[in-house]
């Protein structure tokens, strides 16, 4: 003869079974997330519903909580702007693009893609927020921190140049004869066509294969702008094809103007 459970113990037993069921369900859900969800999250290349909104909100909350309220001490300093331009061209343009539009050679292959620095989302951030992001980075967005490469004064200069990218102002300037040590100083997306072309040349990673002045040995050397234009649009010998999304026709003309300076030709 079985002994029935007293009524006072029945609710406790039900709660115990409920808790056990919740625990087992949580473990199974965690296993499913690890085995299925995480590989899908790592490999996907399109935004899931509200994913970008959530990511932007997470970035804003994290940055605002830590950035403080400092203002840029070199905001109106022309020399600092030049320092920022050189640092940007050497370290940032390969992802964010020569014009800050996010179309650098590595930036378009990232997920999420590199930020367009010209747009309101970036330009609306405070000086302190931009400084914090450049210094510390945003690891889950692929943005590195530059605290080990640039001191605070140089980072403030990068903040100043980021502001200048938002205005996209261009000015004419005389292009010095291109020599290897002066290439970063030549590259200026706010300058004349050869200078803009130099900025695009470095941002798209062309110098990594062709050399700073197109003088790589053998078939990787560049002889003239016409040859470069054909290679950009059609590709050759392992070189990728750059469509008008990556390099617009206007930017291609600037790039040709820069390549033509390799042999002393005009724009």
Give domain status of residue 12, yes or no.
no
Structure tokens given for 188? 């200026």
18, 60, 218 from 138: Cα distances, Å: 41, 11, 40
Contacts of 21 (CB under 8 A, 6+ apart): none
Give domain status of residue 227, yes or no.
yes
Regarding whether 211 and 154 lie in a shared domain, the answer is no
Tell me which of 16-20, 43-47, 245-249 is least confident. 43-47
Q: Which of 225, 203, 227 is nearest to 100 (CA)?
A: 203
Regarding whether 190 and 155 lie in a shared domain, the answer is no
Q: How many helices (H) and strands (E) does the chain have?
A: 13, 0
Regarding whether 86 and 128 lie in a shared domain, the answer is yes
Instruction: Provide the domain limits for residue 206.
Output: 180-263
CATH classification of the domain holding 223 = 1.10.760
The pLDDT score that the predictor gives to residue 44 is: 57
The pTM assigned to this predicted structure is 0.65
Q: State how many domains the chain has.
A: 2
Give domain status of residue 11, yes or no.
no
Regarding whether 154 and 186 lie in a shared domain, the answer is no
**DSSP letters for 187-204:** --TTS-HHHHHHHHHHHT
For 206-232, write each residue's pLDDT tens digit.
Answer: 887 777 777 776 566 777 777 788 888
User: Which residues are registered as beta bridge partners of 236?
Assistant: 239
């Amino acid at each position: 003869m079985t002994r029935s459970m007293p009524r006072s113990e029945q609710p406790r037993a039900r709660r115990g079974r409920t808790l056990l069921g919740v625990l087992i369900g949580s473990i199974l859900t965690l296993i499913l997330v690890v085995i299925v969800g995480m590989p899908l999250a790592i490999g996907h290349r399109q935004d899931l519903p509200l994913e970008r909104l959530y990511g932007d909100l997470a970035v804003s909350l994290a940055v605002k909580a830590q950035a403080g309220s400092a203002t840029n001490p070199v905001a109106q300093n022309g020399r600092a702007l030049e320092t920022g331009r050189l640092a940007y061209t050497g370290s940032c343009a390969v992802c964010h693009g020569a014009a800050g539009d996010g179309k650098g050679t590595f930036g378009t292959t990232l997920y999420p893609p590199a930020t367009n620095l010209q747009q309101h989302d970036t330009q609306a951030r405070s000086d302190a927020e931009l400084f914090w992001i450049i210094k510390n980075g945003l690891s889950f967005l692929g943005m590195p921190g530059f605290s080990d490469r640039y001191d605070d004064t140089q980072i403030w200069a990068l903040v100043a140049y980021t502001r200048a990218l938002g205005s996209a102002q261009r000015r004419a300037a005389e292009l010095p004869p291109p020599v290897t040590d002066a290439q970063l100083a030549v590259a200026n997306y706010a300058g004349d066509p050869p200078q803009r072309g130099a900025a695009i040349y470095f941002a798209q990673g062309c110098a990594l294969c062709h050399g700073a002045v197109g003088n790589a040995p053998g078939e990787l050397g560049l002889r003239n702008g016409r040859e470069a234009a054909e290679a950009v649009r059609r590709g050759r010998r392992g070189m990728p094809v750059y469509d008008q999304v990556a390099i617009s026709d206007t930017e291609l003309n600037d790039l040709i103007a820069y390549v033509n300076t390799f042999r002393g030709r005009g724009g």
